[in-house]
A and B are shown apart, each in its own frame.
Chain A
Amino acid sequence: MKKKLYILFAVLITSFTACQKLDVPPVNIIQDKDIFGTEAGISAYMSRIYITMPIEDFKYHPAGGFNQNAQVGSAAAVTGEASSRDTGNATETFNYWSAAYTLIRDCNYFMETLPAYASNYKPEQIKNWIAEARFIRAFTYFALVKRYGGVPIVDKLLTSPGQTISELASEIEELRIPRAAEEAVYDFIATDCDQAFADLPETNKMGRANKYAAAALKSRAMLFAGTIAKYNTINLTSGNVRLCGIPSSKATTYFQAAYDAANLLTGKYSLYKNKWVAGDKAAQYNNFVNLFTDQTASNTEAIFVRQYKFPDAVHSYDALSVPKQLEGPQGNYSSEVLPTLNFVEMFEGFPKNPDGTIQVLDGTGKYIMFNNTTDLFANAEPRLRATVILPGDAFKGIPIEVRRGVYTGSSAGGLSKILPANSTAAYPATVLGSATVAANLDATNLVTISNGSKITRAGQSGVFTAIGVNATGGTFTGFYVRKYLNPDKATAETIPGRSEQQWMELRYGEVLLNKAEAAYELGGTYATEALTIINQIRDRAGATPYVAINTANDIRMERRRELAFENKTIWDMKRWRIADAEQSNTIYRALLPIMVADQSKYIMDSRFEERSVQFTFQVRWYYQQIPTAAIAKSLNLVQNPGW
């Protein structure tokens, strides 16, 4: 019996010793299995790579970068479509490079790690998720190639977690991947988009990519590649690899690819026309406004959006962009996006001179007198009114008062130009007086006009004469942006970090414009299709249809009108290689309403912006500087020309 007990004792001792493993993963650090093992973990990973996508939305600024919460200024102000007191003549300076490769690694890590957890999910889910990561990777490479030309292609994990420093150091030369050809990067994007299109679902949650997002991205990227092949003249070759520029022989291939990719969306999406009524300008205006504010599934134009929701994910577009009159309680944030007269003149529906500029003088060279500042634009194209707040137009039910000053001289026999045409001089203070914000608030500074009323020198939303950086706001071009502004936002909530309208990164309107441009560039049998598509866009906009497309410029102008303030124009100007010719010591123009005291009527003076800020696009900006920090880490990276 005792012997049995001894044996039992020995068995127990030997079997229970050392069964407690000491080498356990730290429980306070999230492991791959926590992330990749559950759907919630996958969602968390996804949400992080989606939010770091290089989308040029409300929170993008060429000086600050992506996801800037309180960056003042406007990305549109580098293109000439708008002016902003806080954005000057510059190219991007924030070096989108290491953040891009971090995101690419995140995508690669996801794609390589998820299959190990395949048993937890349906095969369809695995396929969809990997395709989403692939879409984001393609999007990121596109953000790189449009900035730098050819960049190193990293399509797999280069290092794995847990590698020691000495292991990494021993293979450092292999990690210094040289730049690939610009063409190769576009081809890589095309391959990723094709694969994503095949693997992504027909529909997905709002804010996540479905298969048509991949097709739309492909049409955008291929159109870029085609135009660069056709219009670029810059060449940088290292070894036999052309880092900047694409052989012109490839243009047709890329335009065809852009056309075919855009075609994949036919019948799946349509131009938003929920409120649209033929021949009804007011309805067409409302329709175009709603296109950007309708966040429901009935928005048939939204392909891929970035969502915002207070208080966790917010932006500041309303606070930064509203007219001065509707400025929120924190003050001095309004008026950052002011469309220029040059932009407004791209539209139709108001009298123009033979050279396309707005007509504000009569046949004898005297100013035309208007009862109201709105008269000149009474018949303006509905899309213009939905894109720009014209002087005197109502926003949130309040007429936006814009007046540069009160002309107190005599206007007997008509009034000739106050300053010579193309003058950059200041208005004579003797006739217009001081129009600072302070002067406007000064009750003793009122002017009595001929109809007996007493008015301030400047309108409540400008134009003020103090228009430097960090000034108090107010328009100095005569206009305010309208597109994307929330018309229902209470003034008390018009403060930074309170806006939550979604950003449409890919919309069907752009896809149609991609298709039309590719069709035009392909020519031949495609040419008539380009005209048909452009006229669909113009019809929705409430503009008169084109009779023919005579030059590429007709298509380009339509694109600039339709996609204005969506942060697409600067890249279009770059890929068409027209930016340096368009911006060569260029000063943009303003349309300033001035009250004539002895008639109680307005004149509208078109002139150079009073700030006289000049814009010159340097040719070397077509290919931005590879960050010197990246070259310092890898001498295999060849710098772009001119840097």
Chain B
Amino acid sequence: MKKRIIYYIAICLATLSASSCSKFDNYDAPDQTLKGTVTDVNTGKAVQTEVTGDNTAGTRIKIIELSWSPTATPQFLASFQDGTYINTKIFAGTYRMTVEGAFVPLVQTTPVVDNGKTVEVRGGTTTVDFAVEPFLRVEWVGEPVLNANGTVTATYKITRGTANPLFQQNITDAYLFANGTKYVGNNNFMLAWSTKTTYAGNAANALLGTNQTITTPVLPKTREVYLRIGARIAFGANIYNYNEVKMITVP
């Protein structure tokens, strides 16, 4: 009797240990690196943006893996706010790549334009840069100045980044975003420290290319404040174009 129980247990153990032990995932892990920069085709400088996930608030890289289907579900890669992107966990394959953001779209329907790229991602690191025409170029003029009353005044200049009239809609607003960290933009800022200038109709056209000033509310003392200016046109998802982040110390 006792022997029989032992046999049973032995059989059970044998079954358990032998079953499903040979299954493994034989597909290569996503080990490819895909990186690059989105630059202004006219100045060669990187196009500043806000940090974005796969939503449409800033620059995002759209990739479609073609080996399965030409209409496969797209994946989106986020971009850093300085206009560069990197993803180190991409499956090897052939991808159709394009980029979306506050610049003339690389893919348009009327008239039909498709400046996307088909890229072979294999063998380590693949660099794919895009040259685009931003809707607006926002530039600092000099450094932001700390005023005696605790506010900061910044001088900036906005110019159009494209000559294509289809993408020269009215400028709706310019926003001086301020934040306590270097990640600053429309998605990440202190409302109480920031200032928005709204333009009605085409009022902002007259200001293009001229020096404009904008002043923050009174900032709290003894801290570092990060600033950048965003401006946008009434096109598509109304995404901001930015200048580079600057830090100012409020004593």
Binding site for B on A (CB under 8 A): 233-237, 423-425, 580-581, 585, 587, 612, 614, 616, 618-620, 628, 631-632, 635, 639, 641-642
CB neighbors of A among B199-251 (8 A): 234-238
CB atoms of B238 and A580 under 8 A apart: yes
Chain B residue with Cβ nearest A581: B172
CB atoms of B238 and A587 under 8 A apart: no
**Contact A423:B192 (CB < 8 A) given known A233-B234, A642-B237:** yes
**Contact A642:B56 (CB < 8 A) given known A614-B191, A618-B237, A619-B238:** yes
- Chosen A-B contacts, 5 in total, with CB atoms closer than 8 Å, are A233-B234, A234-B236, A237-B109, A237-B110, A632-B73
The yes or no answer to B98 lying at the interface (CB within 8 A) is: no
Q: State the CA gap A234–B236 with chains docked (Å).
A: 7
Q: Interface centre among A234, A236, A619, A631, by most B CB within 10 Å?
A: A619
Q: State the CA gap A442–B63 with chains docked (Å).
A: 60
Binding site for A on B (CB under 8 A): 55-57, 69, 71, 73-74, 100, 109-110, 172, 186, 191-192, 234-238
**Contact A585:B56 (CB < 8 A) given known A619-B237, A619-B238, A632-B73:** no
CB atoms of B71 and A635 under 8 A apart: yes
CB atoms of B191 and A631 under 8 A apart: no
Known: A233-B234, A620-B56. 11 other contacts (CB 8 A): A233-B235, A234-B236, A424-B191, A614-B191, A618-B55, A618-B237, A619-B237, A619-B238, A620-B55, A641-B237, A642-B100
CB atoms of A424 and B192 under 8 A apart: yes
* Residues in B whose Cβ lies below 8 Å from that of A236: 109
* Residues in B whose Cβ lies below 8 Å from that of A632: 73
* Residues in B whose Cβ lies below 8 Å from that of A612: 191
Q: State the CA gap A631–B72 with chains docked (Å).
A: 10
* Residues in B whose Cβ lies below 8 Å from that of A587: 191
* Residues in A whose Cβ lies below 8 Å from that of B192: 423-425
**Contact A619:B56 (CB < 8 A) given known A233-B234, A632-B73, A635-B69:** yes
Q: How many inter-chain contacts with C-beta < 8 Å in the A-B complex?
A: 44
Q: State the CA gap A619–B191 with chains docked (Å).
A: 20
CB atoms of A235 and B55 under 8 A apart: no
Chain A residue with Cβ nearest B189: A585
B186 to chain A minimum Cβ distance, whole angstroms, is 7
Q: State the CA gap A642–B100 with chains docked (Å).
A: 9
Q: State the CA gap A237–B107 with chains docked (Å).
A: 12
User: Which of B57, B100, B109, B110 is within 8 Å of A618, CB to CB?
Assistant: B57
* Residues in B whose Cβ lies below 8 Å from that of A585: 186, 191
Q: State the CA gap A482–B20 with chains docked (Å).
A: 63
A95 to chain B minimum Cβ distance, whole angstroms, is 15
* Residues in B whose Cβ lies below 8 Å from that of A631: 73
* Residues in A whose Cβ lies below 8 Å from that of B100: 642
- Going nearest first, the 4 A-B pairs with the smallest beta carbon separation are A619-B237, A642-B56, A237-B109, A635-B71
Q: State the CA gap A642–B53 with chains docked (Å).
A: 12
Q: State the CA gap A424–B110 with chains docked (Å).
A: 45
Q: State the CA gap A612–B191 with chains docked (Å).
A: 9
Q: State the CA gap A628–B72 with chains docked (Å).
A: 11
Chain B residue with Cβ nearest A424: B192
Chain A residue with Cβ nearest B110: A237
* Residues in A whose Cβ lies below 8 Å from that of B56: 618-620, 642
Q: State the CA gap A94–B201 with chains docked (Å).
A: 37
A435 to chain B minimum Cβ distance, whole angstroms, is 22
Chain B residue with Cβ nearest A614: B191
A419 to chain B minimum Cβ distance, whole angstroms, is 11
B57 to chain A minimum Cβ distance, whole angstroms, is 7
Q: State the CA gap A585–B230 with chains docked (Å).
A: 14
CB atoms of B109 and A235 under 8 A apart: yes
A586 to chain B minimum Cβ distance, whole angstroms, is 10
* Residues in A whose Cβ lies below 8 Å from that of B69: 635
CB atoms of B73 and A619 under 8 A apart: no
A536 to chain B minimum Cβ distance, whole angstroms, is 33
B147 to chain A minimum Cβ distance, whole angstroms, is 17
Q: State the CA gap A234–B169 with chains docked (Å).
A: 13
Q: State the CA gap A275–B116 with chains docked (Å).
A: 66
A247 to chain B minimum Cβ distance, whole angstroms, is 12
Chain A residue with Cβ nearest B76: A643
* Residues in B whose Cβ lies below 8 Å from that of A234: 236
Q: State the CA gap A632–B57 with chains docked (Å).
A: 25
Q: State the CA gap A641–B235 with chains docked (Å).
A: 13
B27 to chain A minimum Cβ distance, whole angstroms, is 20
* Residues in A whose Cβ lies below 8 Å from that of B109: 235-237
* Residues in A whose Cβ lies below 8 Å from that of B238: 580, 619
* Residues in B whose Cβ lies below 8 Å from that of A580: 238
Q: Interface centre among A585, A587, A618, A628, by most B CB within 10 Å?
A: A585
Q: State the CA gap A246–B222 with chains docked (Å).
A: 54
A80 to chain B minimum Cβ distance, whole angstroms, is 16
Q: Interface centre among B69, B109, B110, B186, by most A CB within 10 Å?
A: B109
A101 to chain B minimum Cβ distance, whole angstroms, is 20
